[in-house]
Structures are given as C-alpha cells and as structure tokens.
Chain A
Amino acid sequence: MPSPLLLLAQVAAILLCARVLGRALGLVGQPKVIGEMLAGILLGPSLLGWLAPDVSTALFPAASLGFLNALSQIGLLFFMFLVGLELDPKLIRGREHVVVIASHASIIAPFLLGALLALFLYPRLSDDDVTFTAFALFMGAALSVTAFPVLARILSERGLTRTRLGAIAIACAAVDDVTAWCILAAVVLIARSADAPVSLPLMIGGSILFVLLMLTVVRRALARLETTYTKWGFLSQDRIAAVVFMVLVSGWITERLGVHAVFGAFLAGAVMPKGESFVRAFRDRFEDVMVVLFLPLFFAFTGLRTSVALISGDLWMYMALVLFVAVAGKVGGSALAARASGMSWRESLALGALMNTRGLMGFVILNVGLDIGVISPALFAMLVLMALATTIMTTPLLKWIYPPRLLVHSERTAPAEMAPVRAAQS
C-alpha cells in the first residue's frame, strides 16, 4: 500500500489540475469535463512523464497506482449508476419513430466502419491472444458510443434542451448508451470466455438471469423505496446505504459473471424508479462528490495509462484514419437517418454532430477494452485521443451547423416534464 501522504498528494494534484483546466476550457466555450479529461492525459506519461520524468516518477510511482486505480474504479461504479439513473423511458415517448431509426443507424454506421477498420488494424495493432471477432466488435463499440452526460451538458449550455433537436438528440443518446453497453457486454463475454472464472454458458445464462432479476424483483423492491420517499419527503441514510449496497453487489455479480462491474452498476441505476424528485434526491446526494472527486481520478488513471509516445511514425496515419472513420460514421449515419425521418438537413447534421460526442463514456469503454486485453496500449492511446477530439469538436461543429441566431426560430416541442438532464461535470 502506498504512503497516505503520497496518495493525498496524488489526489490533490489531480483535483487541482482538473479544476484549473476545466475552468480554462470553460472560458473558450467547451464543457468543463473536456478540461478534466485533458488534465488526466497531461498528468500521465504523455506530458508530465515526458517533460519532467523525475517529478512524474516521484508523484505517480508505478507501485502506487493500484490504490489510485481502486479509488477510480469505485468512483466509476457510482458514476455508471448515475448514468443508469438518468436514463428515463419517458425521453423517447412520442418520438419513437425518429429516435429508433436515428439511434440505431447512428450505432450501426460507425460500428460497421469500425469493423471494416479492424480488417486493417488487426494485423498491425493486435496480437493472436485476441480473436478478430472480439477485436472488430470492440472497435465497433468504441466508435459507436455517445456520451449521454456530456451531450446533455452541451445541449443545456447551448439552450437546445427544449428544442426538437435537443429532445431527439438526448433520446437517441439514451438508446445508444443502452445498446452500446449491451454490445460491449457481448464483446467482454467473447473476449473473456477463454480465461473467465466461469464457463461461457454460465456467463451468458447467469447474465440473462441477473438482468431479469434486476428488471423484476429488484425494480419492484425499489419502487417501494420511492413510495416511502414520496410519503416522508426525504431519503434516510439507511435507504441510501441500501442503494449503495445494491450498486456494489450488482457490480460484484456482473464482475463475477465475467462481464464487468460497470455493467452491474449501470443496470442498478437503470432499474431505479424514475420519479423526477426521487431521481433528483439521489443525484444531489451522489453527484457533487462524483464530479469533483472521483471522475477526475478516473480521468487521471486513464491518462496515466495513455502514452502518446506509443503513436509514432505510421501510427499517426492510423490515428487520422481512426478519427476520420469515427466522425464519418457517427455524423453521417445519424444525419442520414434523421433526414430520412423527416428532419431538415441542418437539424440532421446538427444531430450527427451531437451524437459524435464520445467523451467520458468513450473513456469507460476504452478502459474496459484495455483491462480485458482486447486492445493494445498504442491503440488505446489512439482511441483516447479520438474520444477527446470528437468531444472537443462537438461545440464548434454545432455552432457552425446550427448558429445561435437560428435558435430563436427553432421549433420548441419538447415536453415540459423533460427537465434538462444535469451533466456529470456541472
């Protein structure tokens, strides 16, 4: 175990860097979370380790990173719980037609292009411990994810939340999230089947059984929690502890089944009751500590695993190709589907630009991929940069496609009950 002093210094350095960069990026019109993501990468071998290797080794010695990892993983579990908590079926009600086509097309287009790209990258950046199927499916999942919380933040900051575009974008992102996690769960099952603690049929059967259990028994039990909350108007610490316990147990079970703990936590959030005040009560208790403390730790841990130095020579061309495929697949797929559903070209392209936000959900998926050994360190670094770049480009791209002057004319059709979904980084 590292010295407590070292751990405190690490956490303090990460928080300071995240807040400063978050504020700085906020000044140029970017969501704060991008600054926090960038801070993580800058504290890793890509900048600090390159500019001041002695400082980097003293502050983040390899032997101490296990503890930082443990802290960031616990934070990640509760962050995924919050993401699941924010998902509300009401979001797609009334616009199923456009949402189903646009969200599915916005997943399958980058997914297919990612798999095609895998034909080129597999012999160059993978190894024979990984099957082509697992590699290609993972590339597809990494390229097709949309960051629901960052998207919500951008919509809120641009005043688009209550427009038709905003409502459709948030609904598509919600469907994308659920679909991407299901796909990723399948990829993890395939990749881990060889050395998982349980056999493949047990992994699949156990996972299905667990999901059904959560959707029926646990959901019903949680409904009682909401009834009690509505009756008394507050959440007791015992009830919060019960939910925390459920998140941890759910994460433990999915990890034990060989899927990944983040799926259990996400599922735990997804089956929570969706009453607005109940969700807000939970979110208010969890969100600040998650956003201020744990997410920057997760970004820093991701940054410490990211070595941009691994991308050299031809690999920069591969990186450009990955970025091009990611943007073309996501923007193109979403825009075409939205246009086919009757939206104007401007709205369709704006939806594509919004869906292209990968942000921290991209980071979560990439860390899972590196953990299970389905991607190599160099490809991890490329995909981290791709996730960062696509998130950074969202706001300027959106401003270009959908200038603020046009916002006043936009159709405001979002239902009144659809409150702006608070972003993780607010």
Chain B
Amino acid sequence: MRSALWYLLLVGMPVLALMGVLRLGQGLDAPRAVHGLYAVTYDSATSGPCIANLTSAQPNELTVAQSGTRLDVRVGDLLLVGAIAGDSVYAAAPGKAFRTASCETLDSVAVTAVVVRTGSERALVGQVMFRGCATCAPARFRALRVPERSSNRGLDA
C-alpha cells in the first residue's frame, strides 16, 4: 500500500504534470524552418561575374543549417552566418577572403531573402549584396528547397 502511494506520488503525479506541459506547449511558436539544401537560380539581368568569383564550388546550390533563429548559410566554401526573423532571412560573411582584382574593396558579402511557401514547397527569394564594391551590383536570386525524406538539418556530416 505504502509502495503504491509512493509510486503514485513519484510517477503518477509527474505523468499528469507532463501531460499538462505538453498541452501548454501547443501554443508556442518556433521560428520558420528554412534548413536544408536549395537549388539556386540567379536573375540573369543582375548576376554577373561577381557571383562566380565568390566560390570555387557550385554557386547554384546553397545549404542552410538552422538552430532556432541562427542560420549558417553555405555556398560552396563560402559560409555566411545570420538569422531569421519572421519570414526575413539575413546572413553575411567578411568579404576580405573574396577580394579579386575586379573588386579589391569588398567589405562583406550579405544575403537578404524572404521565405516563400507554396503548398509543401519552400523557397527563398532575395539578393546577394557585395558591400564596399561599386563594380558588383546586388544579384537577385530564387532558391527552391530540395525535398528530403530524412532531414539532417543542412549539416555536412
């Protein structure tokens, strides 16, 4: 009898409390999910050689690793760190390593985008900006998330 009471107190009550917590949490909102692999198409009218100079790897793919609002956006070997607020995405990286003869004054590379949802499809629509570089105009892009069965949240490994 005493054991049963202890069991109710130490196990039964917490189980009830757990159910309450699960119910309470239903009202919580988490940041918009944008992690995953994206296929990128650039607007031909705005994208020039600056995009191609950014990375030695394929610039038409980008990977977003997400931890809450924090985002790590990888385009080839270029890693931009940023955040998501509502539907707006912002990420940037220092431009020093990507300075070329045609753009010696590049300060930073930044991506701004908005999340667009159409049914189960998710896309990022925005632009890549080359700050401190007058010769590189912002390049507009649209990135469509590649569906994946088992999410690895954009991690390489």
What is A's interface to B at a CB cutoff of 8 Å? 44, 62, 65, 69, 97, 100-101, 104-105, 108-109, 111-112, 115-116, 118-119, 122-130, 132-133, 135-137, 140, 195, 197, 301, 304-305, 310, 333, 336-337, 340-341, 370-373, 376-379
Contact = CB atoms under 8 A, between A and B. Distances in A.
Nearest to B154: A377
B28 A119 contact: yes
Given A304-B157, A372-B151, A123 B30 contact: yes
Given A124-B69, A125-B68, 20 more contacts: A62-B156, A65-B156, A97-B3, A111-B18, A119-B25, A123-B29, A123-B68, A124-B68, A126-B68, A127-B32, A127-B33, A133-B25, A197-B149, A301-B157, A370-B152, A370-B155, A373-B153, A376-B153, A377-B65, A377-B155
Contacts of A108: 10-11, 14-15, 18
B58 interface: no
A92 B30 CA distance: 42
27 contacts: A100-B7, A104-B7, A116-B21, A118-B25, A119-B24, A119-B25, A122-B25, A123-B28, A127-B31, A127-B32, A127-B34, A129-B35, A130-B30, A133-B25, A133-B26, A136-B22, A197-B149, A337-B10, A340-B6, A341-B6, A370-B153, A371-B152, A373-B35, A373-B151, A376-B66, A376-B153, A377-B155
Contacts of A305: 155, 157
Nearest to A98: B3
A310 B153 CA distance: 14
B135 interface: no
B101 interface: no
Contacts of B67: 125, 310, 376-379
Contacts of B154: 377
B68 A376 contact: yes
Given A115-B18, A337-B10, A128 B29 contact: yes
A345 to B, nearest CB: 16
A119 B21 contact: yes
A193 to B, nearest CB: 13
A301 B156 CA distance: 11
Given A62-B157, A105-B11, A108-B14, A132 B26 contact: yes
Given A133-B22, A371-B152, A377-B67, A337 B6 contact: yes
B150 interface: yes
B93 to A, nearest CB: 15
A140 B19 CA distance: 12
A97 B7 CA distance: 10
Nearest to A373: B151
A405 B154 CA distance: 52
A378 B11 contact: no
A125 B14 CA distance: 25
B14 A109 contact: yes
Contacts of A336: 10
Interface in B111-157: 149-157
Most B CB contacts (10 A, CB to CB) among A104, A129, A336 go to: A129
Interface residues of B, number: 38
B17 interface: yes
Contacts, number: 135
A106 to B, nearest CB: 10
B67 to A, nearest CB: 3
Contacts of A128: 29-33
Contacts of A301: 157
B99 interface: no
Contact of A140 (B7, B18, B35, B151): B18
B80 to A, nearest CB: 15
B22 A127 contact: no
Contacts of A195: 149
A137 B21 CA distance: 10
Contacts of B29: 123, 128
Given A124-B68, A128-B29, A372-B151, A136 B21 contact: yes
Given A132-B28, A136-B22, A127 B7 contact: no
Contacts of B26: 132-133
Contacts of B6: 101, 337, 340-341
Given A372-B151, A373-B153, A127 B18 contact: no
A373 B66 CA distance: 11
A101 B3 CA distance: 8
Nearest to A130: B30
Contact of A127 (B14, B15, B17, B30): B30
A111 B65 CA distance: 27
A132 to B, nearest CB: 4
Interface in B85-110: none
B157 A341 contact: no
Nearest to A97: B3
Contact of A112 (B14, B35, B69, B151): B14
A417 to B, nearest CB: 26
Contacts of B70: 310, 378
A101 B128 CA distance: 59
B18 A104 contact: no
Contacts of A333: 10
Contact of B21 (A115, A123, A373): A115
Nearest to A371: B150
A373 B25 CA distance: 19
